[in-house]
C-alpha cells in the first residue's frame, strides 16, 4: 500500500481537480458524451500511472470485436486491475464493480463517470437488476469489464474460482465474451516499494455466442477460466524470455 499512499500524497492537487471535473461531467451528461467521459478517465489514469511509476504493456488489441458491445472477463488481482485494462483499451468501456467497494472516494467518482454497474454481493434482487442492466447496455453496444472471481485476496498471478452467475448477462445478451489475462497487476499495491513496476494485459480470442450457446453458465465459466489460465502461462513465458525484470525495472 506504500505506493497508493505515496501517489495520493504527491498527486493531491491533481486528484482534487479530476474529481471536480468528473463530478461536473456526470452532472452535465447533455454536454459530455461517452467518448469524452472515457477520455477524461484515461487522462486521470495516465497521470496516476506516471506519478505511481507504473507501466502497463498489452497484447491482442487487434482481436477485440470491431463493432458492437461485448464483455471482458478478467482475472482479479487488486485495485489496479480495471485501471490497467482501461489504460490500454482504446474504445470506451465501463466496469462492473462490487457495490460496497464502489462507494469509497475516487472509486465512486470513477464508476459514476463511466456509468459503471454496481453489483451487490448479498442482495439477490439487486444482482438480477444489475445483470439485466448489463444485458440491455451490451445489446446497445456498450463494453464492460467483469471480474468473475468476485474478489482478490493476495492471490498474485494465480486464478481463483469463477462465479458462474457472472456469465448470465453475456448469455442473455448473446454477446461476445473476451477473456482477459492480467499479469503482475498485484505488484502495484501489494509490494511496499516505490520502484517502477510493469504489468501486462492480454486480450485473448473472443468467444462468440455461437460457440457457447449450448453451454450452461458453469461450462462457460470453466471455458473462460481455462483460456485465461493459458494466457497467464503465456505471459509468464514472455516475462522469463525478456531481458528486463518484469516485476521491477530500472
Task: Say what the alpha-carbon torsion angle 62, 86, 159, 173 is, to the nearest 10 degrees.
Answer: -70
pLDDT, tens digit, 9 for 90 and up, residues 188-205: 987 777 789 999 999 999
User: What DSSP designation does 30 have?
Assistant: T
DSSP H/E element including 173? helix 168-173
Instruction: Collapse the DSSP code of 147 into the 3-class scheme (helix H, G, I; strand E, B; otherwise coil) and give the result.
Output: coil
Q: Provide the pLDDT for residue 194.
A: 79
The tally of CA atoms less than 13 A away on the side-chain side of residue 16 is 4
CA–CA dist 133, 127 (Å, integer) = 10
Q: Which three cell numbers stand for residue 202?
A: 492480454
Question: Given this model, what pLDDT does residue 250 score?
Answer: 28
Closest CA to 101 of 147, 137, 40, 136: 147
Exposure of 106 in the CB half-sphere (CA atoms within 13 A): 14
Cβ distance 79 to 45 under 8 Å? no
The pLDDT value given to residue 237: 84
Instruction: Show the low-confidence residues of the chain (pLDDT under 70).
Output: 1, 242-250
Count of other CB atoms within 10 angstroms of residue 147: 26
**CA atoms 67, 223, 79, 165: torsion sign:** positive
Angstrom distance (rounded) from CA 53 to CA 193 = 10
Q: Choose among 79, 209, 191, 75: nearest CA to 135.
A: 209
Q: What are phi and psi of 57, to 5 degrees?
A: -110, 150
Residue 145 C-alpha cell reads as 469489464
Look at residue 154 in the predicted model and tell me its pLDDT.
80
Phi/psi for 93 (5° steps) reads: -145, 170
Distance CA 81, CA 145 (A): 10
Q: Which residue has the cell 499495491?
A: 189
Q: What pLDDT score was predicted for residue 150?
A: 87
Task: Identify the pLDDT of residue 31.
Answer: 95
Amino acid at each position: 500500500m506504500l505506493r497508493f499512499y505515496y501517489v495520493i500524497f504527491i498527486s493531491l492537487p491533481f486528484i482534487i481537480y479530476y474529481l471536480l471535473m468528473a463530478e461536473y461531467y456526470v452532472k452535465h451528461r447533455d454536454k459530455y458524451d461517452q467518448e469524452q467521459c472515457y477520455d477524461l478517465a484515461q487522462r486521470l489514469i495516465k497521470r496516476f500511472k506516471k506519478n505511481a511509476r507504473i507501466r502497463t504493456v498489452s497484447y491482442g488489441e487487434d482481436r477485440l470485436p470491431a463493432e458492437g458491445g461485448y464483455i471482458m472477463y478478467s482475472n482479479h488481482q487488486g485495485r489496479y486491475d480495471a485501471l490497467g485494462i482501461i489504460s490500454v483499451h482504446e474504445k470506451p468501456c465501463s466496469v462492473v464493480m462490487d457495490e460496497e467497494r464502489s462507494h469509497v472516494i475516487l472509486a465512486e467518482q470513477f464508476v459514476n463517470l463511466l456509468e459503471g454497474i454496481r453489483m451487490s454481493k448479498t442482495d439477490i434482487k439487486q444482482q438480477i437488476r444489475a445483470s439485466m442492466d448489463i444485458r440491455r447496455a451490451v445489446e446497445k453496444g456498450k463494453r464492460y469489464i467483469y471480474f468473475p472471481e468476485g474478489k482478490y485476496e493476495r492471490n498474485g498471478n494465480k486464478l481463483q474460482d469463477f462465479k458462474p452467475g457472472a456469465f448470465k448477462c453475456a448469455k442473455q445478451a448473446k454477446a461476445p465474451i473476451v477473456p482477459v489475462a492480467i499479469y503482475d497487476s498485484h505488484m502495484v499495491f501489494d509490494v511496499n516499494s516505490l520502484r517502477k513496476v510493469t504489468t501486462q494485459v492480454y486480450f485473448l480470442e473472443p468467444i462468440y455466442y455461437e460457440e457457447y450457446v449450448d453451454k450452461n453458465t458453469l461450462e462457460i465459466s470453466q471455458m473462460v477460466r481455462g483460456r485465461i489460465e493459458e494466457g497467464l502461462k503465456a505471459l509468464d513465458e514472455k516475462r522469463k524470455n525478456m531481458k528486463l525484470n518484469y516485476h521491477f525495472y530500472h
